[in-house]
Amino acid sequence: MEFSIDYLWVLFGAFKVIIELFLLSSIIYLVLLFLKGTRGAPILAGFTIIGIFLTLIATLLKLEVVGWLIGQMWAFAALLILIIFQPEIRRAFAELGVRNTMLLKSKQKEKENIQILIDAIFFLADRKIGALIAVEREIGMRFLADSGVFVGAQMSKELLTTFFYPNTPLHDGGVILRRGVIHSAGCFFPLTQDMTLAKSLGTRHRAGVGVTEETDCVCIVISEETGTVSLAYRGRLARGLNRDRIERHLHNLLVKGKSSGLAGNVEKIKQAISEGDEGESI
């Protein structure tokens, strides 16, 4: 009997170890998946490599002062992560706190809205009229919409293209689309601070990337110099896209990405966006 109890305790201890390993590995995997592809990932990787290297050196050579300093450095690692990944963390919590309201709309209606948007995009592109159009997804854009003029009109190609004609009062700002409605026009979007973008990109493209760093929206940018169509999502910019590619990206982001959940599609979508990175220069 005593042997059986000891045996059960051993099994229980082994079960606890397995559960702990599973939870820790899951957390580490989710963290690495979250950090993958972010701009701060190389910084954190470099910091970790240097920290591990110095820790090994201090341990092997018994450098007490260096070891103490490294120990203090690891204590500030959490604060460092918060600073480096502040935009990504803010966006992740915002996504967790919102509801997927677009599930109430039919896929057919979504496809119709996408076709209207595409017709407007290439109507402007063919005439080399610059444009900046943000399509709201789960994260609300009210704080950006308030910087512009409220419209609240059903989306149509004719109305959408009108806002961007040169010398009109609202042509310099961005348009925000919400659930098939032109919500606001003449909006000011934040500029990205990403220094890796091409120097030839102007304010419109940097605003298009910047707004996707603050929210999970999809942003269309049309160059007034060349008529080139670009698409920004999650801080990434795909340039020189044709009609087929734009349609495929918008369908993946606005229909598939919402109906099946963002988490299951984000890597696929990021890969799709990256396909356009070597498009026509602007």
Mean predicted confidence (pLDDT) in 60-89: 74
Mean pLDDT taken over the chain: 78
Partners of residue 153 on adjacent β-strands: 182
Mean predicted confidence (pLDDT) in 42-63: 78
Q: Give the least confident one: 117-131, 150-164, 266-280.
A: 266-280
Residues 6+ apart with CB under 8 A from 65: none
- Output the DSSP codes for the chain: -HHHHHHHHHHHHHHHHHHHHHHHHHHHHHHHHHHTT-TTHHHHHHHHHHHHHHHHHHHHHT-HHHHHHHHHHHHTHHHHHHHHTHHHHHHHHHHHTS--GGGGS-HHHHHHHHHHHHHHHHHHHHTT--EEEEE--SS--HHHHTTSEEEEEE--HHHHHHTTSTTSTTTTSEEEEETTEEEEEEEPPPPP--TTS-TT--HHHHHHHHHHHHSS-EEEEE-TTT--EEEEETTEEE-S--HHHHHHHHHIIIIIHHHS-STTTHHHHHHHHHTTTTS---
Fold of 103-274: YojJ-like (1 (3.40.1700)
What's the chain's Rg over C-alpha atoms?
Answer: 24
Residues 6+ apart with CB under 8 A from 105: 179, 180
Give the separation between CA 120 and CA 54, rounded to whole angstroms: 57
Mean predicted confidence (pLDDT) in 20-28: 83
Determine if the pTM surpasses 0.75. Answer: no
In 3D space, the residue among 216, 147, 155, 218 whose CA is nearest the CA of residue 185 turns out to be 147
pLDDT recorded at residue 109: 78
Given a cut of 50, whether residue 96 has pLDDT beyond it is yes
In 3D space, the residue among 218, 194, 213 whose CA is nearest the CA of residue 42 turns out to be 194
Q: Who wins on pLDDT, 37 or 80?
A: 80
pLDDT per position as a tens digit, 219-264:
999 999 999 999 999 888 999 999 999 999 998 888 776 543 333 3
pLDDT recorded at residue 35: 63
pLDDT recorded at residue 274: 52
- The residues spanned by each domain of the chain are 2-96, 103-274
Provide the residue type at 157 as one letter: K
Residues 6+ apart with CB under 8 A from 141: 134, 176, 178, 183, 211, 215, 217
Q: Are 100 and 138 in contact (CB under 8 A)?
A: yes
CA–CA–CA angle 145, 151, 156 (5° rounding): 115
- Output the DSSP codes for 170-210: TTTSEEEEETTEEEEEEEPPPPP--TTS-TT--HHHHHHHH
Number of other CB atoms surrounding residue 54 within 10 Å: 16
Q: Are 59 and 67 in contact (CB under 8 A)?
A: yes
